[in-house]
């Protein structure tokens, strides 16, 4: 039974998306859905080997001579959940519920980023009453993994020089620039040793997390970084231990909300860890007031060598973290930052995964080089990828001017222009076509990339109503 009102097309399509697993690299079923949509509506479409999909809709009568416009959204979502959740993002539909006009999933991300944009495009193409020029509707994959879908699409498919990116997350805001990014991964094979010591499991929980572009300037706690501080504190106290396991975070571009670690030692660490964490917790009394640590006994017949343990702890503890510098021009906008989003051991190999963001390539190089030096000193291997450039502010944008005027005409309020520290696919599309005139838009979603992600339903209806009106003004 549907949770949302199926008589509202944009709601219908959004709920349909939530029933189709579509995390990054798992978009095939959703691409199948989009292909079926195109066939059902007798629309020309293209699909590549990555599962990017472009659907073309001819102009409404009387709009045939108008310049085409491209609408764009990414179809993948960040798959994050509460530690207690049993949800399988590879196969399970999301469980939805409404609270006070906001749509939530059950202890998982909702996929409003960017299911809102996908649903808006589908509803627009399905509405015969919407007047519009030729539409080029672009659905990309692997945005959350590093903008790979946009980077891999055939630019010849993008038959427009005007673009509305539907990856906005606050109704009434339009983004005017975005940040470049890069992924950096450090790996290290580990040497097992037999364990004859007691084992303790530590868990850092209760963090707020958030998108590492949008929320990193709020100085929220990073569970992986906190675990590194605990481990280093134990070493500084002279407590000898071996690492058994460590795991934290779900995605490199999400601030991790949990981390667990097992260590083998003859010292009861319970009081030491709790007392230390109590003092550290004061640092986050305004950003993460509900953080806590748990310590319990565990069992393991193996551990990792003291040398490996030492190197791992130092790598996590010494690595630069969070915002490195703020913009000298825009208040509280990060200039460059890095987020240790994922830490795990698999098949006796440790992986540390950072998401780096910087307006300039030189800033991203600086942070990469810091991690490269750390990697060399501590005997890690380093790889990098997911490089993408930012999108610079264009002071002369006829599309943005028309968009903001139409928004004021409909809602009698001015649209707010913002710059973002997040990476957007707009930078890639602008690189394909430097003449591309771009505006961004979306409904309102909060706490994206976290288990508490929620979307304002009224704003989604208003976003659809505005787009329907604006396309008719072009």
Tens-place pLDDT, residues 416-436: 999 889 888 998 999 899 999
Average pLDDT over residues 274-282: 95
Burial class (CB in 10 A: 0-12, 13-18, 19+), 219: middle
Report pTM: 0.76
Q: What is the pLDDT of residues 286-314, one digit of tens each?
A: 999 999 999 999 999 999 999 999 999 99
Predicted local distance difference test score (pLDDT) of residue 145: 83
Q: Per residue in 109-127, pLDDT tens?
A: 999 999 999 999 999 999 9
Mean pLDDT (whole number) for 274-297: 95
Phi/psi of residue 361, each to 5°?
-60, -35
- pLDDT 10s digits, 338-353: 999 999 999 999 999 9
Query: Residue 328: its pLDDT value, please?
Result: 86
Which position has the token pair 């627009």? 124
CA distance 158 to 265: 59
> β-strand 96-99 against 102-105: which pairing, if any?
antiparallel
- What local confidence, expressed as pLDDT, does residue 336 receive? 94
Q: What radius of gyration do the chain's Cα atoms show?
A: 24
Both tokens of 462, joined, read: 């208003």
DSSP 93: P
> In sequence order, which ranges of 106-261 are alpha helices (DSSP H)?
112-125, 143-146, 148-152, 223-236
Least confident range from 15-24, 50-59, 191-200, 419-428: namely: 419-428
User: Phi-psi bin for 101: left (phi > 0), alpha (psi -120 to 50), beta?
Assistant: left
Q: Decide if pLDDT at 389 tops 90.
A: no
Tokens 């979306």 -> residue: 442
How far apart, in whole angstroms, are the C-alpha atoms of residue 430 and residue 450? Answer: 29
The pair of structure tokens assigned to 438 is 């771009």
> What's the CA gap between 55 and 46, in Å, rounded?
7
Q: 231-268: per-residue pLDDT in tens? A: 999 999 999 999 999 999 988 988 999 999 999 999 99
| pLDDT band at 198; cut points 50, 70, 90 | very high
Nearest to 449 by CA among 75, 112, 74: 112
Closest to 183 (Cα-Cα) out of 142, 226, 230, 227: 142
CA pair distance 166, 157, nearest whole angstrom: 18
Query: For the chain, what percent of residues have pLDDT higher than 70?
Result: 100
Task: Specify the pLDDT at position 228.
Answer: 98
Distances (CA, A) of 426 to 4, 173, 363, 441: 31, 16, 20, 12
pLDDT band of 269, cuts 50, 70, 90: very high
Output the six-digit token pair for 312. Answer: 């791992």
């Amino acid at each position: 039974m549907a949770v949302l009102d199926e008589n509202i097309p944009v709601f219908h399509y959004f709920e349909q998306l939530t029933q189709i697993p579509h995390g990054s690299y798992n978009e095939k079923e959703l691409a199948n859905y989009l292909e079926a949509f195109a066939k059902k509506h007798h629309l020309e479409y293209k699909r590549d080997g990555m599962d990017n999909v472009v659907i073309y809709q001819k102009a409404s009568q009387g709009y045939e001579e108008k310049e085409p416009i491209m609408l764009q959204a990414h179809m993948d979502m960040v798959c994050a959940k509460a530690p207690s959740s049993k949800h399988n993002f590879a196969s399970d539909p999301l469980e939805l519920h409404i609270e006070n006009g906001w749509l939530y999933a059950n202890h998982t991300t909702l996929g409003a980023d960017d299911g809102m944009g996908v649903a808006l495009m589908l509803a627009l193409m399905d509405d015969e009453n919407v007047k519009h020029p030729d539409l080029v509707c672009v659905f990309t994959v692997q945005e959350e993994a590093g903008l790979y879908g946009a980077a891999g699409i055939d630019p010849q498919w993008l038959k427009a020089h005007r673009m509305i990116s539907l990856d906005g997350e606050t109704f009434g805001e339009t983004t005017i620039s975005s940040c470049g990014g890069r992924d950096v991964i450090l790996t290290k094979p580990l040497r097992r040793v037999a364990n004859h010591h007691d084992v303790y499991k530590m868990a850092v929980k209760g963090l707020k997390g958030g998108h590492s572009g949008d929320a990193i300037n709020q100085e929220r706690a990073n569970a992986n970084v906190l675990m590194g501080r605990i481990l280093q504190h134990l070493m500084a106290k002279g407590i000898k231990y071996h690492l058994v396991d460590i795991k934290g975070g779900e995605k490199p571009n999400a601030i991790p909300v949990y981390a667990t670690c097992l260590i083998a030692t003859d010292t009861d660490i319970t009081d030491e860890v709790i007392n230390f964490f109590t003092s550290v917790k004061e640092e986050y009394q305004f950003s993460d007031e509900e953080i806590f640590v748990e310590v319990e006994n565990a069992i393991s017949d193996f551990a990792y060598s003291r040398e490996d343990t030492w190197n791992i702890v130092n790598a996590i503890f010494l690595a630069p973290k969070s915002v490195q510098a703020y913009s000298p021009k825009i208040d509280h906008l990060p200039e460059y930052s890095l987020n240790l989003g994922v830490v795990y051991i698999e098949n006796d190999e440790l992986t540390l995964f950072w998401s780096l963001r910087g307006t300039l390539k030189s800033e991203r190089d600086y942070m990469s080089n810091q991690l490269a030096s750390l990697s060399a000193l501590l005997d890690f291997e380093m790889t990098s990828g997911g490089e993408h450039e930012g999108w610079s502010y264009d002071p002369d944008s006829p599309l943005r001017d028309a968009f903001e005027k139409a928004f004021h005409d409909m809602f009698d309020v001015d649209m707010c222009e913002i710059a973002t520290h997040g990476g957007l696919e707009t930078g890639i599309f602008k690189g394909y076509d430097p003449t591309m005139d771009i505006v961004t838009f979306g409904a309102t979603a909060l706490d994206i990339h976290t288990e508490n992600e929620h979307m304002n339903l009224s704003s989604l209806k208003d976003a659809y109503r505005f787009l329907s009106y604006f396309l008719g003004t072009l």
